[in-house]
Amino acid sequence: MNDKLALPVGTTLDRFIMRKQEDFPFATGELSQLLRDIALAAKIVNREINRAGLIDVTGAYGQQNVQGEEQQKLDVIANIRFIRALRNGGEVCAIISEEEDEIIQTGNLKGKYIVAIDPLDGSSNIDVNVSIGTIFSIYRRVSVAGTEGTMEDCMQRGTAQIAAGYVVYGSSTMLVYTTGHGVNGFTYEPSLGEFFLSHPNMRTPETGTIYSCNEGGYNSFPEGIKNYLSYCKENGYSGRYIGSLVSDFHRNLIKGGVYIYPSTAKAPNGKLRLLYECNALAFIAEQAGGKASTGKSRIMEVEPTELHQRSPLIIGSSEMVNKVEEFIKAEVEKKEAVVAN
């Protein structure tokens, strides 16, 4: 028999998840089902994105979300799709979404998990056919099963995450996730309707030559960040900024680089959301050998105080994040010395 006539297509996401269930003796299959629910919603959102220009779902929806940002039609569609999949899956008792003001109760009172999600990151790029994504974070509930999810369930540090991931909808659609045992990436094969393992055990380089930052806000950046950007230019680094957090992070994860969204005069607490953007990507970065910081401390150790809390974010190759922190610390020490004198 000539096996070359029918080469294996690879490991599907479902099969991979089933094989890894033994990593979670406490979960007895629920976490696996939850990850499959997210993958299903991602497939549906991928379909909607791919035909967006044909069925009039691009453009603004005409409302603002809790962040004060204008919602795009696909923001609303993605939000509905993920909430519906998580509610129907039965494993999630409550959801935190970028598109909703309050905790979303699913009605699954026995559900053991909380999901924090940005259903469609980078939605301002939808109309111009630039890569966008989904970011999700999963926690075990701390309240008693049989009741609705509580604020205590949702206000957990990033260190309490049991899984996190993202989907990038680009030239190919990829789902990347971690359960605390390394990072694995799966590429969607649309003709079969399956995600296949394409990037096993992903590791990010310790350093790189790419920096990703919206330099349009340069004048309002802290001096330490300005000094680091000057350092990048003096050393011939490449500036690469897509404007979709998932896309910028994904590129740097693979190639090596640092993503910087600092505090600014306009956003002194930063702009990115802690619970469903920063923590999720920080978990992935650390599991891949990288680092994630506020500029002064580890992202995943920040204590949440509100659902839509914002944070500065410096994330990527560990040596590059360390260098940014050095520049920030040097500027702080310089100011302290001036005050002391």
Token pair for 12:
């599907």
Asked if residue 322 and residue 259 are part of one domain, the reply reads yes
Residue 299, in any domain of the structure: yes
Nearest alpha carbon to residue 277 among 312, 241, 320: 312
| pLDDT by residue, tens only, the chain of 341 residues | 455 555 566 899 999 988 887 766 665 678 889 999 999 999 999 998 888 654 455 445 445 555 555 667 888 999 999 999 999 999 999 999 999 999 999 999 999 999 999 999 987 787 788 899 999 999 999 999 999 999 999 999 999 999 999 999 988 999 999 999 999 999 999 999 999 999 999 999 999 999 999 999 999 999 999 999 999 999 999 999 999 999 999 999 999 999 999 999 888 999 999 999 999 999 999 999 999 999 999 999 999 999 999 999 999 999 999 999 999 999 988 888 877 76
Compute the distance between CA of residue 302 and CA of residue 159 in angstroms, rounded to an integer. Answer: 9
3-state secondary structure of 245: helix
Cβ atoms within 10 Å of 204's Cβ, excluding its own: 25
Residue 306, in any domain of the structure: yes
Token pair for 310:
């914002």
Asked if residue 231 and residue 182 are part of one domain, the reply reads no
Asked if residue 157 and residue 43 are part of one domain, the reply reads yes
Compute the distance between CA of residue 24 and CA of residue 11 in angstroms, rounded to an integer. Answer: 20
Q: Which of 199, 222, 248 is the last residue of a domain?
A: 199
Alpha-carbon torsion 240, 244, 247, 248, what sign? positive
Q: Which residues contact 295 (CB under 8 A, 6 or more apart)?
A: 222, 224, 225, 262, 263, 312, 314, 324, 325, 328
Count of structural domains, the chain: 2
Asked if residue 114 and residue 136 are part of one domain, the reply reads yes
Asked if residue 61 and residue 139 are part of one domain, the reply reads yes
Annotated binding site for Mg(2+): 98, 118, 120-121, 277
Q: Which residues form the domain of 75?
A: 8-199
CATH number at residue 159: 3.30.540.10
Q: Which residues contact 297 (CB under 8 A, 6 or more apart)?
A: none
Asked if residue 96 and residue 240 are part of one domain, the reply reads no
Asked if residue 279 and residue 183 are part of one domain, the reply reads no
Q: Which of 175, 199, 223 is the last residue of a domain?
A: 199
Compute the distance between CA of residue 334 and CA of residue 340 in angstroms, rounded to an integer. Answer: 10
Annotated binding site for substrate: 121-124, 214, 241, 271
Compute the distance between CA of residue 341 and CA of residue 325 in angstroms, rounded to an integer. Answer: 24
Contact 250, 240 (CB under 8 A): no
Task: Give the model's pLDDT for residue 61.
Answer: 46
Task: Give the model's pLDDT for residue 187.
Answer: 97
Residue 172, in any domain of the structure: yes
Asked if residue 222 and residue 192 are part of one domain, the reply reads no
Residue 35, in any domain of the structure: yes
CATH number at residue 325: 3.40.190.80
Task: Give the model's pLDDT for residue 20.
Answer: 81
